[in-house]
Amino acid sequence: MRGTLEVLIRQARTPEHYESRIKEVIGTVDRLDGLLDRLLELARLDTGNAVVSMQPVPLHHAVEAVRMKRDGAMQERGVHWLNEVPRGTAISADPALLDVMLDNLVGNAIKYGRTNGTITIDWDPASGSLSIADNGEGIPAEHLPHIFERFYRADQSRSAKVAGQGLGLSIVKKLAELQGLVISATSEAGKGTRFSVRFPA
């Protein structure tokens, strides 16, 4: 950002040039702001001071609440949404923490899924698991064991084309642990990725 601004003040530029570079700096500020927010969230969680309030949560409604927040991004990429969680399904979770988890997972599915692709949310009552699946390029097998590590970003198609800090999934895993939930991921090259969250019986 400093380099960009220093170049701008060295000599007069066209208004279009100023506008282009200012937008570039604003974009960088936004990315740094997002990074700081995530680092602060992780620091807060690491202190062990997070308050967890487990209670019955209507799962279909919780999933739809995330869809409403992400509707604009899905429309922009032409993403088709399938919420196959039966109405009446209830799980035990902290509503606020669960919302952050689902929002991160759905956000990933939108970013890394195919344009005009599909995000499928379904529920397996036998295992008590919720899954969020996209039909994007998938995560290479060698990277899959590391995706919940802080700042880890696979260097293949799933991350190379998309801006991010590699912290979202770390936050999801931490929030899952706080609630006694288990999160896992499976992926197949060219077919997509599925994240599963298993809830206590």
Q: What is the DSSP letter of 82?
A: E
Provide the CB-side half-sphere exposure for 91 (13 A, CA): 27
Average pLDDT over residues 177-190: 92
Question: Mean pLDDT for the chain?
Answer: 86
The DSSP element (H or E) to which 193 belongs, if any, is strand 192-198
Q: Is 113 exposed, middle or buried (0-12, 13-18, 19+ CB in 10 A)?
A: buried
**CB under 8 Å to 189, separation ≥6 — which residues?**
137, 138, 140, 141
pLDDT class for 13, splitting at 50, 70, 90? confident
Instruction: Express each pLDDT in 61-107 by its tens digit.
Output: 999 999 998 998 899 999 999 999 999 999 999 998 899 899 999 99
pLDDT class for 6, splitting at 50, 70, 90? confident
Provide the CB-side half-sphere exposure for 121 (13 A, CA): 24
Query: Given the structure tokens 């196959």, which residue do they identify?
Result: 84
Q: What is the DSSP letter of 187?
A: E
Query: Given the structure tokens 């690491």, which residue do they identify?
Result: 46
Question: What distance in Å separates the CA atoms of residue 66 and residue 77, rounded to the nearest whole number?
Answer: 16
pTM of structure: 0.76
pLDDT value, residue 30: 77
